[in-house]
Structure 1
């Protein structure tokens, strides 16, 4: 089994969930993670036992003249709307195509449109191809959606993380569907750290420091929270470009919250940090799924989240294991956070229910869905013709 990642050496939700799936599949299969690029000496996250890692474009070692020439030429495999476009080049195009062409049987899983489209073009017929969507269809531009509509029908299967996105893909691919189109959500990885006591006066936010995560809105919300609950603090975990981090830090300082809101940077042990939190806040403008919501729930931490497309409302049951904020205003998010701060009994009730919700996303549960899909595709795999020969 071969799983394609843009940069397995980095950090992020897709990387963590892919490693989780790879660990499960490696129980019964020979699993290889293929990183399009290598940008660090060692991966940020450790590779699971029994899982091999290879890379196609080493960006920390010197290249030859021809490779350098190709690396300076833009990608021709995917349109500019693909978010990986700037990380790709004519060199990665050629190496990805060559790698896919070299496969002999087995299964290849793509984790973004660039890979899914390439698999449809270059994977040999005897290789089972499974595409994944880790964000949402609507986050892709029209040119990219056109290519998806034309070429995803070549895939043996395609999976989405949410029911809402499955509905959108079903509509788009109606005239040219893949062999199987279904939803398989991400599973929760094993996280270090104990179940939260819900006693610490700490609210946590997690994610890359990018516009989509809406940390500017979370900081604005914290102005109201800090006024009524000055003994509570907000910790934001996640990295970003120096420019984005500085801009967010300036916003925190301008709001007079430098001793209330802390940018904690990236950590490979997010479970430990969640176990110290009493509330998890999601300020995203959109989410492909919301993996960190489940991770917080697995530590018994209730969630307050904007009701953004697509993931939160499919995970959170409003008033049961968290709060869904239907307004997009920071004040509404602040009100939800304050409600859980002020009502300890409700916070603990929702935390207990969050644990039950998280259990339904255990790797054993989600892994069984992958096992069933692989078995179904293997049954449908065309068998090579063979000659019975001349009777003796």
Structure 2
């Protein structure tokens, strides 16, 4: 899906310090019509990226990850940004119109970059991979948001909204 903008991620990896490229494993989860084109791009950029295809055990992937990069041009509600709250994963996302901006407070519980800005993505990725304390600060702040997505909290918010509409 072109909208997911995986090429931005690949170009960002190419801009990373060579030591980071060698010391970390970069993966793309999911499959689709762009895979062959992206595999060619990986070769032409001279980088190493594993294409995992469809991942059934997402939990295991999150448990191994240091960071999650969402490069989409547009998303509705990006569930990966919510799922990753429950793991030690730093969230980095493009700051498209809504969605990511609603789920990430930049430099507090994640990092935002401009749409299709692979240089900014590379810089933010280098920052969290080189500074474990900063990465953990972002992750710990993000974990505070978990309660916002618990069923009991969502139910409470819906009931408030229904009451407001009913009383309007």
TM-score normalised to structure 2 length: 0.88
Match of 1:233 in 2: 25
Q: Specify the SS of the correspondent of 2:12.
A: helix
- Among 299, 319, 328, the alignment partner of 2:87 is 299
**Which consecutive unaligned segments of at least 5 residues does structure 2 have?**
none
How many residues are matched?
A: 166
Q: Is the 8 A contact 1:306 1:324 kept in 2?
A: yes
Match of 1:256 in 2: 46
Q: Which has the higher helix share?
A: 2
Match of 1:205 in 2: none
**How far does residue 363 in structure 1 lie from its aligned partner after superposition?**
2.2
Larger Rg: 1
Q: Is the 8 A contact 1:307 1:313 kept in 2?
A: yes
**How far does residue 336 in structure 1 lie from its aligned partner after superposition?**
0.5
Q: Specify the SS of the correspondent of 2:144.
A: helix
- Among 366, 387, 390, the alignment partner of 2:154 is 366
Q: Which has the higher strand share?
A: 1
Q: Is the 8 A contact 2:96 2:115 kept in 1?
A: no
Q: Specify the SS of the correspondent of 2:64.
A: coil
- Among 70, 73, 86, the alignment partner of 1:285 is 73
Match of 2:108 in 1: 320
Partners of 2:59 and 2:163 in 1: CA distance: 33
**How far does residue 293 in structure 1 lie from its aligned partner after superposition?**
0.7
Larger RCO: 1 or 2 (CA < 8 Å, sep 6+): 2
Partners of 2:151 and 2:122 in 1: CA distance: 33
Match of 2:5 in 1: 214
Partners of 1:317 and 1:357 in 2: CA distance: 11
Q: Specify the SS of the correspondent of 2:149.
A: coil
Q: Specify the SS of the correspondent of 2:107.
A: coil
Q: Specify the SS of the correspondent of 1:267.
A: coil
**How far does residue 340 in structure 1 lie from its aligned partner after superposition?**
0.5
**How far does residue 326 in structure 1 lie from its aligned partner after superposition?**
3.3
Q: Deviations over 1:298-354 (max 9, x none)?
A: 213111112112111111111111111136421111000000011111011111111
My pick for the range that moved more, 297-306 or 225-234, is 225-234
Q: Is the 8 A contact 1:340 1:347 kept in 2?
A: yes
**How far does residue 275 in structure 1 lie from its aligned partner after superposition?**
1.3
Partners of 2:40 and 2:155 in 1: CA distance: 43
Q: Is the 8 A contact 2:95 2:114 kept in 1?
A: yes
Q: 1:310 to 1:233 in 2, by over 3 A?
A: same
TM-score normalised to structure 1 length: 0.40
